[in-house]
Amino acid sequence: MTQPTAAQNSQTSTAVQHPNLVPPHGSSELKPLLLTGDARTQALQLASTLPQITLSSRERGDLIMLGIGGFTPLDGFMNQADWQGVVDNMRLQTGANAGLFWPIPITLSAPKTIADTLNNGDKVALVAEDGEIMGLLTVEETYTIDKLHECQQVFTTTDSEHPGVQQVLSQDEVNIAGQVEVLSEGEFPTLYPETYKTPEQTRQLLTDKGWKTVAAFQTRNPMHRSHEYLAKIAIEICDGVLVHSLLGALKPGDIPAEVRQEAIKALIDNYFKADTVIQAGYPLDMRYAGPREALLHALFRQNYGCSHLIVGRDHAGVGDYYGAFDAQTIFEKLEKDDLLTQPLKIDWTFWCNACGAMASSKTCPHDASQHVKVSGTKLRKALSEDEEVPDNFSRPEVLDILRSYYASIALEERTEVKLVGASAL
């Protein structure tokens, strides 16, 4: 890809170094692409005169992550060679980042009618679906892709029922590659002022706490007892845990971010020792790519300063497309220096009636008949159908919040939650 502009270099040079934390991916410092001050004002004025490309929700989240440095060291949306290298070999192919590990393509699409009017070097405005100007892109290349090939490689399926496959198949016909200048973080700073944090803000917070080893806990669900157990295992190993919630778009039936944030806060306030957990959020949509998404989660958590990522059962999975622990074994295929953030692989966790406590397959000696296996899907299904939830599934303070949320939705308007794959066991 092309080299950063002077405005972007000026931001990069201000990145604060945090020597006790893992360095960003493929770089000694974060590389945010978000413009501020006069540079942003001038860019917005220019954008109003340019052709526009409307971003999908996923592309908008990716652009914001580029802006805040979450996708360091990328400087924009991938060209065809990088797309091909990432899809087939999880490697970037061009420029200063050639050979660098990257597990999922970060691409922008546009209708052919727009792409055919663009030449290399042209600038276009990147606009959200609500009309907000989110950024500028300098066109490097336009190209078409084999969408089914991307789906098979990234999601291991071309089934159109898979929500990630749906995202790719619904893209416009042509991909547009190029360096970006980001002009907005969207609604996230104002909608989630206490939890939304950029990588630099997160690194500063970790540094202020004196933490060196930090485990990220990825979640798109409210935390139930199994999640709580995973986080507490990590606290025994690391200085602290970053409960890092996805704040972008989910599939129908998942619980909205504001409800999850409230439920997670209640759990942390009541059941964790003070100053062992930080609750934060990031602006991406879920891709539901299972193993490959687990790798992306580890990669950008490295940019946020985390030394470890908790990887439990069915990480970033959906339905029955992935094996329960495929997201753990994929890390074994990486080369030694691909990622500095390492997985904390934890076996199937559950409540054991005989133990009278949370346990895992590695620690519990009792028969499976004594086990009450907890999953976010099972919890959502019970709550959405107004069923009783066993005490060993979730904490009462959390259940009160979730029940209140479901009570606000008419029964006939609730999305059906199906138990398939690992969530059904």
Average pLDDT over every residue of 301-308: 98
**Residues 26-84: pLDDT tens digits?**
999 999 999 999 999 999 999 999 999 999 999 999 999 999 999 999 999 999 999 99
Confidence at residue 262, expressed as pLDDT on a 0 to 100 scale: 96
Residue 308 has pLDDT above 90, yes or no: yes
- Per 3-state DSSP, the chain is made up of helix, strand and coil in percentages (nearest 5) of 35, 15, 45
The DSSP string of 135-148 is EEEEEEEEE---HH
Mean pLDDT rounded to a whole number for the chain: 92
**Residues 171-223: pLDDT tens digits?**
999 999 999 999 999 999 999 999 999 999 999 999 999 999 999 999 988 89
Residue 375 has pLDDT above 80, yes or no: no
The DSSP string of 350-390 is EEETTTTEEEETTT--S-GGGEEE--HHHHHHHHHTT----
Confidence at residue 417, expressed as pLDDT on a 0 to 100 scale: 65
Q: Return the minimum-mean-pLDDT range out of 96-100, 116-120, 329-333, 374-378.
A: 374-378
Cα 104 to chain centroid distance, Å, stands at: 11
Element (H, E) at 244: strand 240-246
Where in the sequence numbering do the catalytic residues fall?
220-221
For residue 413 the two structure tokens come to: 């308007």
Confidence at residue 128, expressed as pLDDT on a 0 to 100 scale: 98
Average pLDDT over every residue of 293-299: 98
For residue 400 the two structure tokens come to: 């009160």
- Beta carbons within 8 Å of 383's beta carbon, 6+ residues apart: 389, 399, 402, 403, 406
Confidence at residue 392, expressed as pLDDT on a 0 to 100 scale: 85
Mapped onto helix, strand or coil, the DSSP state of residue 126 is strand
CA gap 74, 40 in Å, rounded: 20
**Residues 333-362: pLDDT tens digits?**
999 999 999 999 999 899 999 999 999 999
CA gap 208, 187 in Å, rounded: 27
Query: What does the H/E/C string look like for 260-305?
Result: HHHHHHHHHHHHCCCCCEEEEEECCCCCCCCHHHHHHHHHHHHHCC
